[in-house]
Structure 1
Amino acid sequence: MARRAGSDGAKTAEAIRAAGLRLIFEHGYEGMSLRDLAEMVGVQPGSLYNHIATKQALLFELLSGHMRTLTAALDEALAGVEGPLARLDAFVDFHLRYHLTRKMEVFVNNSELRSLEPRNRAVITGLRRDYERRLADILAEGAADGVFTVPDVKVATYAILAQLTGVVGWYAPDGRLSEDEVVALHYQLVLRGIRESAQTIRP
């Protein structure tokens, strides 16, 4: 018998989200059953509906919660940072460290967008674009100031995000490179891609 989450509603709801995230990560949205979810949390299947309306609602809550938390944390990381070089450095540092410590959330957010119903998908797509806009604004500011060479801000934004987020798939905490080394290396790679000169120094 799975360990029961207790009678506290908030704790049970959090246990459901955590278990749902793990099950979707391990088995995919289609492969996750509410019966398995209830068993993992330690409640009766019918009791799940005291906390989630449907399986689809749970997926939407997981993805929207991830994106809203991510964007709010980014805004906090960028607060008070002035100038496109320093803001790009802060963005790369934040994005990598945040994602490297949340492998399940990142994987589910990227792989299960397809599993959302159209209305829910539109909301998550909007939240993703809102996050992407932060980086696009940094690149546009740097290009306007002559600090960056960015022929197409939108394409550069997508390329940089794909490069940074892709690290989650191969980085190992006990591997050859430390987290700090990975962050510093990727900052240099990003910066060299949007500047004409390769002679760059991390601010």
Structure 2
Amino acid sequence: MARTQGSHSDITGPRIRKAALALFARHGYAAVSMRQIAAEVGVQAGALYNYTPDKQSLLYRLMSDHMQDLLTAYGELDPAGDAIEALRRFVGFHIRFHLQRPDEVFIAYMELRNLTPENFAEIEALRRSYEDSLETILQDGQRAGQFDIADTKIATLAVIAMLNGVMTWYRAGGRLSLDEVERIYWDMVRRSVSARGE
């Protein structure tokens, strides 16, 4: 099939993913058609299939790219001296990374149910890898006597849920600066896991 005039794979492919991201975040995956995505990009609907097999592949690619970017960026953080410092860095990283990607975060959590079982398993494995990074910090702090946690898995999920809350209400230029928000959340997280005397 001939490519649409003026279309280039290194330009049109990212434009399709950007359009799909915005439309999925605004209307929900189930409500968006390939025709709508094509109209947003400015190509014929049939042209989309030069770049993606179907809508499910688009959703999977968006989620996979987001999780790979997250894991890569987190892996580039400098090693911390102890569990408390590692947890502080995790809190700051999670808030700042996700605030820059509100559509990706929304889709990553709200559209999991729309993945095929195979795609779900792959995205869930990536998510678990990120969660495991935090649980390892909590386990290290527990062993060092710095943290007092009844169940590190539940604590991991609770901390991430707390941090994700920032994405729903924070607005640049609001009452609190991002630095202040980060400090407040770090204090809440630290208090929720710290052993007495820490």
TM-score in terms of structure 1 length: 0.92
What's the CA shift for 1:5?
10
* C-alpha separation in 1, matches of 2:174 and 2:88: 24
1:107 partner amino acid: F
Distance 2:5 2:107 in 1: 23
CA deviation profile, 1:133-167 (whole Å, cap 9, x unmatched): 00000000000001111111001000000000111
Tell me, in whole angstroms, the C-alpha distance in 1 between the residues paired with 2:86 and 2:5. Answer: 42
- 8 Å contact 1:5–1:41 — kept in the other structure? no
**Which amino acid is 2:69 matched to?**
T
CA displacement, residues 47-72 of structure 1 (integer Å, 9 cap, x when unaligned): 10111011000000001111111111
Please show how residues 56-75 of structure 1 align to structure 2 within 5 Å: 56-75=56-75
Alignment partner, residue 27 of structure 1: 27
Shift of 1:107: 0.4
Answering whether residue 169 of structure 2 is matched by residue 149 of structure 1, we say no
Give the partner amino acid of 2:22: R
Give the aligned partner of residue 130 of structure 1.
Answer: 129
- Distance (Å, rounded) in 1 between the aligned partners of 2:5 and 2:148: 53
Contact 2:20-2:58 within 8 A present in 1 as well: yes
* TM-score (structure 2 length as normaliser): 0.95
Amino acid in structure 2 at the alignment position of 1:163 = M
- Tell me which residue corresponds to 1:91: 90
Q: Is the CA contact 2:56–2:115 (under 8 Å) kept in the aligned structure 1? A: yes
SS in 2 for 1:30: helix
Corresponding residue for 1:163? 162
1:18 aligns with 2:7: no
Aligned partners of 1:156, 1:5: CA distance in 2, in Å?
A: 53
What SS class does the counterpart of residue 81 from structure 1 fall into? coil
Unaligned runs of 5+ in 1: none
d(CA) in 2 for partners of 1:66 and 1:34?
Answer: 21
Number of matched residues?
195
Q: Tell me, yes or no, if the aligned pair for 2:146 and 2:195 is still in contact at 8 Å.
A: no
Structure 2 counterpart of 1:106: 105
Residue identity over aligned pairs, in percent, reads 43
Amino acid at match of 2:115: L
Partner amino acid, structure 1, of 2:72: A
Cα RMSD of the aligned pairs, angstroms, is: 1.5
